[in-house]
Amino acid sequence: MNIKESEELFNLSQQVIPGGVNSPVRAFRAVGRNPLFIKRAQGSHITDEDDNTYIDYVGSWGPAILGHAHPQVIESVQRACRDGLTFGAPTRKEYLLAEMICEAMPSIEKVRLVNSGTEAVMSAIRTARGYTGREYIIKFKGNYHGHSDGLLVKAGSGALTTTVPDSGGVPADYSRNTLIALYNDRESVHALMEQYKDKVAAVIVEPVAANMGVVLPEEGFLKFLRDITQEYGSLLIFDEVITGFRLGYGGAQEWYGVFPDMTTLGKIIGGGMPLAAYGGRKEIMDQVSPVGPVYQAGTLSGNPVATTAGIETLKLLKAHPEYYTQMEQHAARLAEAFRKFGRRKHEKIYVNQIASLLCAFYTDREVVDYDTAVSSDVKEYAEHFGYLLEHGIYTAPAQFEAMFVSVAHTEEDIQKTCNIILG
């Protein structure tokens, strides 16, 4: 596979950008290769600087649910650009997109548009603390909510519950108010709530975990979180940056019928442009400036070009519920191909799949939480990743991510991918 241009660009890029990338996972370090530099994407395919083309199952980590460069989205964005890129003033489109989000997820009565999932989660947590007057946040081991200081934490060496920073540059004190529970482990949540009682502002959870690979909530786990937060007067925050409009038009909260107090969104709602959001009940969101005392702001928040891409994307998803059925069927076929590969080669493979999200873990254990997810053999993953890439299939360059199927993946793409998975 000729990747000369990518190699050259990678050498140059590392001189002026840390690791040659603007987000660590893109560096391909987890799969022991140098990254490909992508120059174009169309539908279900991406093309690198050496004109190698791949069937893309990363989809920019979720936003490209319609496939890349959907003509209706592109045309509307081009038109919007001609009216100016940014005004720093309220626009009709911010209202329209906010209205669409509230209509899709009734638990969201008011929503604030921001620029990234990190910013959405950071702001949601600040709002939860402002609304409750409490300081502690409970998150789950293996859940990722962006890179704000208070969330880059790991279990402290002593008690499981307290945390220490999990990144350079984060003062120890910043992790003091972040507690860690175990995904799908009700007792770990109950113990924390009992210990911290009326000091917990919120529990934040990925309703379907997609940052330790894909791990599904066990039967009743989300309902348990809904009940226990209500019991202790804490807020429940669903981080739906990945699952929002991905599992279905109403996200994980519609899929599971569990409705949080606050929701964070990103990726799909920007249609590929930098746009994210946090929202919830009116009395919570009215804590946010300029109405309430919780400050949050942003020069490009609700940007007219980004909101155009988001509106067009959501319009297409809403008008075509059949898209979700198609994506789920295609994802199920890919999951079965990975399982068949596992059985045939006596490899250890365990696959989790829900809607258009899936992940193959190279382990013989059932992957139901963080510990079973990390039992996966990351070398096996890297090896299969390399085989797939060299045969034109672009999957996540790290085990603890997800595969994303889009509307643009055709029957032919799926069949070809299954054949290559099976080798």
* Binding of residue 241 to ligand KE4 (CB under 6 A): yes
Give the residue, chosen from 20, 67, 117, 397, that forms a contact with ligand KE4 under the rule CB under 6 A: 117
Minimum distance between the CB of residue 141 and ligand KE4, rounded to whole angstroms?
A: 14
Q: Is 25 in the site for ligand KE4 (CB under 6 A)?
A: yes
Which single residue brings its beta carbon nearest to ligand KE4? Answer: 117
> What are the residue ranges of helices labelled H in 275-321?
282-285, 304-319
Residues 62 and 242 sit within 8 Å (Cβ to Cβ)? yes
Angle between helices 378-390 and 411-422 (to 10 degrees): 130
CB 242 within 8 A of CB 402: yes
Interaction between residue 157 and ligand KE4 (CB under 6 A) = no
* Alpha-carbon dihedral angle through residues 271, 117, 189, 400, given to the nearest 10 degrees: 70
Among 46, 80, 97, 121, which residue interacts with ligand KE4 (rule: CB under 6 A)? Answer: 121
Nearest 5°: the CA angle 272, 148, 299 is 55
Q: Look up 239 and say whether it is catalytic.
A: yes
Using alpha carbons, select from 300, 376, 311 the residue that is nearest to residue 338: 376
Q: Which of 136, 144, 232, 249 is catalytic?
A: 144
- Whether 379 sits among the annotated catalytic residues: the reply is no
Count CB neighbours of 305 within 10 A. 22
Is residue 145 a contact residue for ligand KE4 (CB under 6 A)? yes
Quick one: 208 or 294, whose CB is closer to ligand KE4?
208
- Measured in degrees and rounded to the nearest 5, phi and psi for residue 202 equal -160, 155
For ligand KE4, the binding residue among 52, 107, 116, 123 (CB under 6 A) is 116
Q: What is the 3-state secondary structure (H, E, C) of 320-335?
A: CCHHHHHHHHHHHHHH
Q: What is the DSSP letter of 27?
A: G
Work out whether 129 is an interface residue with ligand KE4 (CB under 6 A). Answer: no
The backbone torsions φ and ψ at residue 295, rounded to the nearest 5 degrees and listed phi first, read: -85, 140
Answer yes or no: are the C-beta atoms of 307 and 92 closer than 8 Å. no
Q: Which of 142, 146 has the CB closer to ligand KE4?
A: 146
What does the angle CA 266 – CA 271 – CA 273 come to, to the nearest 5 degrees? 80
User: Using the rule CB under 6 A, which residue among 260, 266, 272, 342 binds ligand KE4?
Assistant: 266
Six token digits for residue 56: 């893309």
One of 242, 305, 309, 334 touching ligand KE4 (CB under 6 A): 242
Q: Contact between 56 and ligand KE4 (CB under 6 A)?
A: no
Which span (83-91, 104-112, 143-151, 298-306) binds ligand KE4, by CB under 6 A?
143-151
Near ligand KE4 by CB under 6 A: residue from 28, 61, 238, 245:
61
Cα dist from 233 to 6, 183, 253, 279, 349, whole Å: 52, 21, 20, 18, 41
User: Both tokens of residue 119?
Assistant: 């910013």
The number of residues that bind ligand KE4 (CB under 6 A) is 18
Q: Which of residues 178-237 bind ligand KE4 (CB under 6 A)?
A: 206, 211
Rounded alpha-carbon distances, angstroms, from residue 270 to 77, 109, 310: 11, 19, 4
143 vs 234, beta carbon nearer ligand KE4? 143
Nearer to ligand KE4, 67 or 117 (CB): 117
Residue 257 CB neighbours (<10 A): 11
| Binding of ligand KE4 by 21 (CB under 6 A) | no
Tokens of 80: 């919007």
Least separation in angstroms between residue 148's CB and ligand KE4 is 9
Does 382 sit near ligand KE4 (CB under 6 A)?
no
β-bridge pairing 38-42 and 45-48? antiparallel
Cβ proximity to ligand KE4, 147 vs 320, nearer residue = 147
Only segment of 113-121, 287-295, 314-322, 356-364 that touches ligand KE4 (CB under 6 A): 113-121
Asked if residue 313 lies in contact with residue 59, where contact means CB atoms within 8 angstroms, the answer is no
From CA 282, how far away is CA 280, in angstroms rounded?
6
Residue 141 bears catalytic tag: no
Q: Which is nearer to ligand KE4, 98 or 120 (CB)?
A: 120
The reply on whether position 139 binds ligand KE4 by CB under 6 A is no
The answer to the question of residue 118 lying near ligand KE4 (CB under 6 A) is yes
| Identity of the residue, 62 or 304, whose beta carbon is nearer to ligand KE4 in the bound complex | 62
Site membership for ligand KE4, residue 399 (CB under 6 A): no
Nearer to ligand KE4, 117 or 310 (CB): 117
Q: What is the contact surface with ligand KE4 in residues (CB under 6 A)?
A: 23, 25, 61, 116-118, 121, 144-146, 206, 211, 239, 241-242, 266, 276, 401
Active site residues: 144, 239, 267
